[in-house]
Every structure is written in C-alpha cells, then in structure tokens.
A = this chain, B = another copy of it.
Amino acid sequence: MNLVKRLKICVFTFALLFIGTAVNAQITNDITHEEAFTALLAAKKNAEDSNVLVNIAVVDAGANLKAFIRMDESYLGSIDVAIKKAKTARYFNMDTGKLGELTQPGGIIYNIELTNNGMVSFPGGLPIKNKDGKIIGAIGVSGGTIEQDRAIATVGAKSILE
C-alpha cells in the first residue's frame, strides 16, 4: 500500500515536472471566411473556365466546414467527397493524392480511409497555407477527373496569397 502511494506520488511529480515546461499559450492561424470565399470563388471560376462541374468545400484549421458551393448539374455524390477531401487534407496536412500513394494494398497505411468517419485518398484535397507557409485550412474539390479536381483545388488554395 505504501509502495503504491509512493508510486502515485512519483507519477504525478513526474507529470507536474513535465507541465513545468508549459509557458506560452499557443498562437495559431485560422482561415477567415473572406479567405474561404476567395478560395471558393477562384476555384469556381477556374472550374467554369475549364468547363468542369464541381463541388468545392473549404474547412478551417480545426477541419470544420467554413464554406461550400455545389455548381449546378454537378454530381450529388460529390458533396460528401468534396467535404471529406478538404477534411482529409487538413487531418494529415497533405495533398489527398499523396496520401493515396500510401493507402493502396501493400501500402504502409493501407485502409486508413476507414478512420475519421471516412476519408478520401485520391487527388482533389489540398491544405491552404498563408503567406508565412502556415496551414490555416484546406480545400476539397470533386466532380471532374482527379487531375481536374487537383488543378482546381490548387487555384483555390493559391488564390488567397494574391
């Protein structure tokens, strides 16, 4: 009993020492709704110029939906795909297509798409970075070919830097 008590004290002393290093609150950067709109409209314009019908979703730094639009006649199934692409890109801070290279049969993170309430691992999702290169959100595009989706997402993500 005495030993257990001592152990407990040890664990928590250890824990408290650990906490001792905590000093400054974390300052993060989050996309604004104006930036989200800018990205949405830039992506939409690019889609129209390319004659592609897409759904476009933008999530914030916390992977929560910030802005969305579905172009007329675009796929209904692309609503969820676009949102999940944006979330996935923020969940792992990468191009969703890059993730997909690792999730194939035999890949090192095979079937990771089954986590996080369903993820998308093909192109069309991209992190959005601010001028300092910090990730502040992500964009997801669905409706065209994967190359088209990625190209449109790229235009959207870059638009906030102009």
Q: Which residues of A contact B (CB under 8 A)?
A: 7-8, 11-12, 14-16, 18-19, 21-22, 25-38, 41, 44-45, 60-72, 75-81, 84, 88, 90-93, 100, 103-106, 108-122, 130-131, 136, 145-146
Contacts of A121 in B (CB 8 A): 110-111
Q: For A114, what are the chain B residues with a Cβ–Cβ distance below 8 Å?
A: 113-114, 118-120
Complex: chain B residue closest to A73, CB-CB: B26
Question: A79-B65, A122-B112 given as contacts; is B37 within 8 A of A31 (CB)?
Answer: no
CB-CB under 8 A from A106, the residues of chain B are: 104
Q: A34-B11, A41-B14 are in contact. Are A27 and B26 (CB under 8 A)?
A: no
User: Hey, which chain B residues are within 8 Å of A14, CB to CB?
Assistant: 41
A14 CA / B42 CA spacing, docked (Å): 10
The smallest C-beta distance from A79 to any residue of chain B, in angstroms, reads: 5
Let me know if A92 and B68 touch, CB within 8 A.
no
